[in-house]
Every structure is written in structure tokens, then in C-alpha cells.
Structure 1
Amino acid sequence: MPPLLALPFPAIDPVALAIGPITIKWYALAYIAGLIGGWYYARRLVMADSLWGVVRRPSVADIDDLVVWVALGVVLGGRIGYVLFYNLPLYLSDPVEIFAIRNGGMSFHGGFLGAILAFLLFARVRRLNGYNLLDIGAVVVPIGLFFGRIANFVNGELWGRVAPDFPYAVVFPTGGPLPRHPSQLYEAATEGLLLFIVMALAVRRFGFRRPGLLGGIFVLGYALARTACEFFREPDRQLGFLFGDNLGPLGGGITMGMLLCVPMALVGLAYIVLAARGWTRPRHPVEAPAAADRAVEA
């Protein structure tokens, strides 16, 4: 029986659909929802004349092709990042486990770096402005973050720290008998919904006329939101707290998630300053394609 100040974990099957030996999990659907939502939003952004000025924008066809590149970057980067940052000794002892993605293990920071690499490579191949592609990604990524964190909650993973006096604490099946913060929902609300609103307001205010600005805002915003949520999230069991023992309202120390957010925050702040000063603008702006051309591409 759960403690008095706790909510029972909702009995949600992590498998959304099963047809014979084929199973589709909510986590996979979260990735799909994030990609489709981001793809649709990105198409709308590149068709909005008021956001671009004279900066050359990608075409709708470019966005359609870019989705495949970014999906590969996120999956490969997320897995490699988890292997390197969170459980390297295990995978060195059993390298075959690196490919067992079905057992879980994805890193946002690794997926983030993989997505950046995909954006930059695509920009180079298509002769587009890499900063602008990254800015588009910055505006749409919170959609995927929201669905991803909801899927973490459904899976009963990445739960929060023990919270015996919190009225909305949850007893997770894999988290022991004690009530814990539903930190996945905190991350969905901050890294997903709140950051989506911030980026929507930013793109409405600044558009894509200052390459790198929106990307900097997103990177800084994510680093701050993730760091705040880390104070409520249980650190990975194999790592624990890296150092410090009594930081934040719930005690504990510095986690790997916090540590990885430090360079993100610095890079985000740097790009905000550089973009605001105009140092990231192309020296020879190219006029955007005519409306008739975009209609044909669409």
C-alpha cells in the first residue's frame, strides 16, 4: 500500500500496440510525434515571409529531406551519448549491448549533438545557412522534448527523488516503495511546453533575420530548465552524484545532467551575444525565393 501522501502510478502499458510478435511502444510513438510535429511546424516557418527578410531560407522540399537526416542524428547521437556519458564501463565490458537499443538508454545531450551535426552537414550539402537551419530546429525541438518526457513517465523511468511530504508524489513500480517527484512531468512542462512558448514568442519577435539568435536562446533555455529539474530528478544509479552532497532544496550534489548543461549554457549565451551584434549574418545576403516558387515547392 503506498504511503498516505502519494499517488499510485497509473497502470499504463508501455506497449501501445501489439500485433503478433510486432510491438509498438509509447516511447517510439513519442519520437514519431516529435518528428512529425516538428516537420509540420518547420514547414510553416519557412513559408512565413515575415520571418525571413532577405535571408535565404530553405525550401519546403529541403525541410522534407532534412527530417530524415535529423532523425538519424538524434537516434545515433542519443545512443552514442548515453554509452559515453552514462554507462561506458558496462558497454566496454559487453560491446554487443551498445546495439541493444530495445533495452533503453538514450542521452538528450548526445542526441542534441547528433542533431546539430545533421543540420550542419545538410546545410553544407544544400548550400544553406547552417545557423538558420539550427534556428529552425531550436523552435521545433521542444515538441519532441514534451512527448519524450511524457513517454518517460509512461515507462516509469527517470523518476524523481524521494518526496515523502509532497502531496503529488508518485510511487513508481521500479522506484521502490517510497513516493517520488514525477520529475518526468516537470521536464515535460519546462523543457517542452514552457520552452516551446518561449521559442514561439522569440521567433515571432525576431524571426530568422539574426542567424544563431534563436538557437542560442533555445540552448540557454534548455540548460536552465534541465538544471532546475535535475534538483528533483534521481541521478542515474550507476553514476550517482558526481560531487557535492547538500545542494538544492532536496539535498544531493552535482549530477551528470547538470554538468553537461554548463557548456550548453555558455555556448547559448555566446551565440545570443554574437547574433545580437550581427556577427553571424552572412556577408552577402541572398534574396528569398519568390512566393510563386515556394508555392510550386509546396
Structure 2
Amino acid sequence: MFMLAPPLLALPFPSIDPVLIELGPFAIRWYALAYIGGLLFGWWMAKRLCARPALWGGRSPIQPEEFDDAVVWIAVGVILGGRIGYVLFYNLPFYTANPWEALTLWHGGMAFHGGFLGSILAMYLFCRRRGLPFVSMLDIAASVVPVGLFLGRLANFVNGELWGRPTDVAWAFVFPHGGPEPRHPSQLYEAGLEGLAIFIILQIVIRAGALARPGTVAGMFVFLYGCARIFVEFFREPDAQLGYLLGGWLTMGMLLSLPMLAVGSWLVWRARRRPALAASAT
């Protein structure tokens, strides 16, 4: 009996230049366009949700023009939080020795969990200043975040960064800076799970009336993202400067995602125990 050897071939990595347009010292990168595209599409879609009373069981507690003003706060929270989170969680010794490098956003280095916390803080401050319901604002933002995650992970793939662990699966890629081994395209796994799958699930529950119970959509997003990220971390190569934690299997991405399971579950449980918006208004 003959045994089949593992496949020796890998898919060719697409030669897409990470820089779309370069004008002298200025460069427009796909990664930056992913952030911009995610914010613009999320802004447009969130306003549509605010303008559809039927999804809320009555008048939306946040009007489209109010969300217009919130977008700037959210964008600042995402960028500052994402950068600070990367500095603190993923490469603190380097930035402690080179503090000015923390300002060089064009060199890369953003952390989702930091951007997530930064955007929540920004929305809280905005809602407190305007007297708007914070939890409903979270629901609106959570419903569109997967779009940005989808575009961002595709940009990670184009950049040839955040690649997966070595594998012999038929759809493996040899990444330009990932060594000679074929690797999981973990960026595409994340785009499919954190982006596309969660987006579809949230749109289904929104149309089933989830926005009428504040906290349901936000809780589902937080819980589902935590599950998706922990799952993909089993295929994603840990950051070189961190490696594996606690016995050689836990990663920083897993560690930061574990609390999301508890927080997301609590938000959904809390939302289900409270009356719906229409019932509250009567």
C-alpha cells in the first residue's frame, strides 16, 4: 500500500501592490482605503437604520443627523484606540525604547481590541454630551462594524501581513515575508467570519426586531466576534515579539477576546430582561 505524501504546492500569492497611488512622498495604501471605506459605508448604512422606525418598533431614539455628528467621534476613537492598543498590548517594549515611533501610523500597527475600546469611549462621551441613549448608539455601531472588519482583513491579505501558521492544506499561500512554508490565509478566514458571517447574522436579527431591545445587537456582535477571533487564532501565526502565552497555545488575540464572550452574553441577557422600546414608550 502506498501512502500519499502531503501536498508540496501552494497557491501563488497575488502580486497586488499595497500602495494604490504614490505621489512623491505621499502614498495612498489599500489599508488606509479599507479604513476610509469601512467608515463611509458604515456611516451610510447606520443612517439608514436610524431612518427606519419599523426596525425600532417606533421612532428611532437616534436620528440620522445625530449620527452624522457621532461619526467624527467614532473615527477618532477607532484610530487612537487602535494605535494605543497595539502599543500597549502587542509591542510595548519597542515603543518604550522608541516613543516617537508610536506616532508613525504609516508604519502600521493597529489593534482591533484597542480600536473597539476607543470607539466605545468616544460614543459614551458623545452620547453623554448630547443626551442620547448610549446602548442604542452601541447597537447602531455594532451593526455596521463587520463591514470595516471585512475590508480591513482583505487589506491585511493584500499587504501580506498577519499570515497564518504553516499548513499543508490545498488553499495555503507562501507569503512574501512569511518564510518558505505554505501558510493558512488567516486574514481571509477573519474576513469571512468576523466580517461577512457576523454581518449577515446581525442583519437577520435586526430585521427580526433586535433594535427594539437595546443591547441585543451590540451584545451579539461582541460575543460573535470573540468566538470568531478565538477560533481563527488557532490558524493565525502569533505576533513574533509575543509568541505563545501560558504553556505554548494561548495567544494575545485569544486572551483579549475571552472577556468579550462574558460581556456579550451579559448585554444580550440584560436586553432580554428589559421591556422593548415601544413598550417603554407606552
TM-score range, shorter chain: over 0.9
Which residue matches 2:264?
A: 268
1:86 lines up with 2:90 in the alignment: yes
- Offset at residue 286 of structure 1 (A): 5.8
SS of equivalent residue, structure 1 residue 7: coil
CA distance in 1, matches of 2:121, 2:280: 24
CA distance in 1, matches of 2:132, 2:145: 20
**How many Å separate the matches in 2 of 1:65 and 1:44?**
15
Pairing 1:239–2:242 present: yes
2:118 aligned with 1:114, yes or no? yes
CA contact (8 A) 1:56 1:286 kept: no
Q: Show the counterpart of 2:164.
A: 160
State the partner residue of 2:274: 278
Instruction: Show the 5 A alignment for 1:43-62.
Output: 43-54=47-58, 56-62=60-66
What's the counterpart of residue 68 of structure 2? 64
C-alpha deviation, 1:54, in angstroms: 4.4
Unaligned runs of 5+ in 1: 246-252, 288-298
CA distance in 2, matches of 1:13, 1:235: 24
**Contact kept? 1:153, 1:182, Cα under 8 Å:** yes
Q: 8 Å contact 1:5–1:168 — kept in the other structure?
A: no
Q: Which amino acid aligns with 1:104?
A: G
- Tell me, yes or no, if the aligned pair for 1:39 and 1:67 is still in contact at 8 Å: yes
Pick aligned residue for 2:253 from 235, 252, 257 = 257
Asked if the contact 2:164/2:183 (under 8 Å) is kept, the reply is yes
Match of 2:226 among 223, 227, 242: 223
Alignment of 1:164-243 (within 5 A): 165-243=168-246
Runs of 4+ in structure 1 over 6 Å off? none
Question: Percent same amino acid among aligned pairs?
Answer: 56
5+ residue gaps, structure 2: 1-6
The size of the alignment, in residue pairs, is 276
| Corresponding residue SS for 1:208 | helix
Residues 107 and 172 (structure 1), Cα distance of their counterparts in 2 relative to 1, 3 Å cut: same
Q: CA deviation at 1:53?
A: 2.4
2:44 aligns with 40
CA distance in 1, matches of 2:178, 2:172: 12
TM-score (norm 1): 0.89
Does the aligned pair in 2 maintain the 1:55–1:285 contact within 8 Å? no
Shift of 1:56: 4.9
Q: Deviations over 1:202-250 (max 9, x none)?
A: 11112321111110000000000011100000000000000233xxxxx
Paired residue type of 1:80: I
CA contact (8 A) 1:78 1:109 kept: yes
Output the CA distance in 2 between the equivalents of 1:278 and 1:28: 40
